[in-house]
Chain A
Amino acid sequence: MADFDSAGAMARSEARSLAAFMAAGSESARLWRPEELAAIFRHQMAAPALVDLAGFDPATAERLKTLTSAQNLLLTSFRDLFLHAVPPVELLELTKDFAKANMDQADSALPNDVAAALYYISIASALARLDRRISRLNDAELRKGFSWARERAWVDEKTRQLLGEAMQKISSGDPTT
């Protein structure tokens, strides 16, 4: 592990670097660069759902374990959850809530765009796979959100297809939804 010479680095720094450091060191400052979104999204989609969703509260964490065990989904990633033929709706709702809790928050653990994408993808999965609505957003709002997510360059092709299927469900005016 390399050392950092704090005294030396500060001594030779100019005001500009020090000012930038104080700003970057603030909790409200952006954690990740825009060019890192693709890698972060990939990582999020590959992450075990249990790891992030279990952070809500003990009761939810326990319920989550029961759900994923019952469905043999203990090691399931978010991607596997979204693209599952019959994803557990409760898991999709938890994911939606997790994503929403991380949207538009200065100290969020997720970049806003990744949280927003996760939000719409979880809603799309419920719609496309289960014909269920897990959101109170109207058709126009859903269409806008799905479209936005599909247009992200860092969203993979299968997820893009899922969003497309969900958009078709809205367009078709499927009475079951």
Chain B
Amino acid sequence: MAQTVETDTARLDRLIQTYWTPLKIFFLATFPSLREQADTFLQEFAEDKVLKKGWLQRADRSRGKFRDFLKTSLRNFVLDRLSRAEVRHAPVSLDELDREFPAAEEASNEFDLTWVKTLLAETLRRMEADCKDPAQEQPRRTRIWEMFRIRLLEPMFNDAPPVPYDELIGRFDLKSPTDASNMLLTGKRMFKAHLGRVIKEYAEQDAATAAEIQELEKFLGRLAGGK
């Protein structure tokens, strides 16, 4: 039991570190007048709430996403602190805060968008490290990363021009189009596997992980469509 508690704490600590930026963005968007104390509040939230025994158990996965639980938990924590007048600087009244709540959806969207960015960055970081691991089959794994990088990442995020197929043949010593396709498909499968692992660190169950991926795709689609 003690070891399980310690494992949970270490895991949550790592989650907080990884997703610090989206948490801060949510905090700043929800409580803009408390900007100067953002890091303090977040640190206290992490120490006094998240890393305390029992917090994670209250996250009922059947009732909603972990991200929503995190947002609600942070918001309630701050409101609770404010209502107990523990703010050191000029206090902000709850009436003033009430006027900020219409922006709740915007704050939530900002949090979720930053969360996705953090998630994808972490996924790609791990995938690249995995592909370049000298203990893995080389140079094939590094080539898989390269193919994934020049076919997907560079055109999508750096506006790089598409590398002509004929150039790929020479660059990767491709025997046939099947060889080329398998390389790219393997890259996509690796990306998907790493994405699943990163999400499972907070979603915990396979079904919740799959649901979270769908949710994030829907969320991005909604934002991208301007709906």
Chain A positions within 8 Å of B, measured between CB atoms, are 1-2, 4, 6-7, 9-11, 13-27, 29, 31-33, 36, 39-40, 43-44, 47-48, 51-52, 55, 107-111, 114
Contact = CB atoms under 8 A, between A and B. Distances in A.
B223 A44 contact: no
Interface string B154-191: 10111000101110010000111111111011001101
A174 to B, nearest CB: 33
B46 interface: no
A132 B152 CA distance: 44
Contacts of A55: 178
Interface residues of B, number: 44
A144 B189 CA distance: 37
Given A43-B176, A114-B177, A27 B188 contact: yes
B179 to A, nearest CB: 7
A10 B118 contact: yes
Contact of B124 (A4, A17, A40, A43): A4
A36 B121 CA distance: 30
B49 interface: no
B185 A31 contact: yes
Contacts of B176: 43-44, 47-48, 51-52
B182 A109 contact: yes
A21 B179 CA distance: 23
Contact of B188 (A7, A20, A25, A33): A25
Contacts of A2: 149
Contacts of A27: 185, 188-189, 192
Closest 7 CB pairs of A and B: A47-B176, A15-B223, A6-B124, A19-B220, A109-B181, A39-B165, A9-B157
B121 A43 contact: no
B161 to A, nearest CB: 12
A10 B220 contact: no
A40 B165 contact: yes
B177 A18 contact: no
Contacts of B221: 19
B29 to A, nearest CB: 16
Contacts of B117: 10-11, 13, 18
Given A15-B223, A43-B165, A22 B153 contact: no
B156 A20 contact: yes
26 contacts: A1-B142, A2-B149, A6-B120, A10-B157, A15-B113, A15-B223, A18-B116, A18-B117, A18-B120, A19-B224, A21-B120, A21-B156, A22-B216, A22-B220, A26-B192, A39-B166, A43-B166, A43-B176, A43-B180, A44-B177, A47-B176, A48-B175, A51-B178, A51-B179, A109-B178, A110-B177
Contacts of B191: 25
